Structure 1
Amino acid sequence: MRKDIEISEVTDLEMAVVLEPNETHDSDDWYVYLINKKNVDLDMVIIVSQGFSETKTTTVFRKKIDKLPTNSFVKVEMIHPDVFSLDNRFQVSFFEGNQIFEKTFQFDKNTIKEGNLRMISLLNKRGIVVK
């Protein structure tokens, strides 16, 4: 039966952490985005995130997105600088047509920082991207 299971590689899907102004609180805050660079819509997207190290773990966060259109993005969550010293993992599951896919993205500890920001063209914002 295992030979019948096809696990396809996920391409053209990225996670980004972006530093952007929060006008309501007059501050700069960090946000996580999911970027769909595919030429197809993604349906029933589930994102499970958690920060962890050898001695600490954060609460598991889950988010559902009904549809993520082709060549678009969605703001997933705000991320607090206190967890940047942890590895931050985002497991993304979704349907493309009738097939389910899964991809894990990880921002390694201490990589989310202003010095690593680069322009992300689709967002037109500066951030850190994991493919």
Structure 2
Amino acid sequence: MKKDIDIPEVNGVYLAAVKQFNKDFRAEEWNAYLINDRDDALDMVLIVSRGFSEKDQTSVMRHKIEKLPPKSFAKVEFLQEEVLALNNEFQVTFFAENKMFEKKFLFRKNTINDKALRELPLIPEKGILLK
């Protein structure tokens, strides 16, 4: 039975942690973004995120993006400084090509930092990219 289940591979969808200046609070902050670098839209995107370590755990956060157009990106959530010391997991589920896709992204603890900043697809700022 399991061999009959087709689980499509996710391509062209990424998660990024982007450091940005918040004008209202006059401070640098990290935000998680979902990037759709595909040629088709993502429908009914559901994102479940949590931070965890051997000792600590955050609340589970749930986000929904109704439609993410092709070659676009959307802010998912603000990443508090305290959770950067934890593993941060994002479970992303969406519909495209009349199929359901699912992918898990994991920022390992302390990997979201200034030394890891790189160019990102579609986003004009630097960040940390998970493929």
| TM-score calculated relative to the size of structure 2 | 0.97
SS of 2:59 mapped into structure 1: coil
Which residue in the other structure is 1:100 paired with?
Answer: 100
Q: Which runs of 4+ in 1 moved over 3 A?
A: none
**Within 5 A, what are the aligned runs for 1:29-108?**
29-108=29-108
Residue 81 of structure 1 and its aligned partner are, at CA, apart by 1.2
Report if aligned partners of 2:37, 2:121 keep a CA contact under 8 Å in 1: no
Identity of aligned residues (%): 48
Query: Following the alignment from structure 2 to structure 1, what is the Cα–Cα distance between the partners of residues 115 and 103?
Result: 27
RMSD: 0.9
- Residue by residue over 1:1-31, the C-alpha shift from the partner in whole angstroms, topping out at 9 and shown as x without a partner, is 3232101110111000011010011111110
Residue 121 of structure 1 and its aligned partner are, at CA, apart by 4.1
Task: Count how many residue pairs are aligned between Structure 1 and Structure 2.
Answer: 131
| TM-score calculated relative to the size of structure 1 | 0.97
SS of 1:8 mapped into structure 2: coil
Which residue in the other structure is 1:27 paired with?
Answer: 27
Query: Following the alignment from structure 2 to structure 1, what is the Cα–Cα distance between the partners of residues 90 and 15?
Result: 8
Which residue in the other structure is 1:8 paired with?
Answer: 8
Query: Following the alignment from structure 2 to structure 1, what is the Cα–Cα distance between the partners of residues 79 and 70?
Result: 25
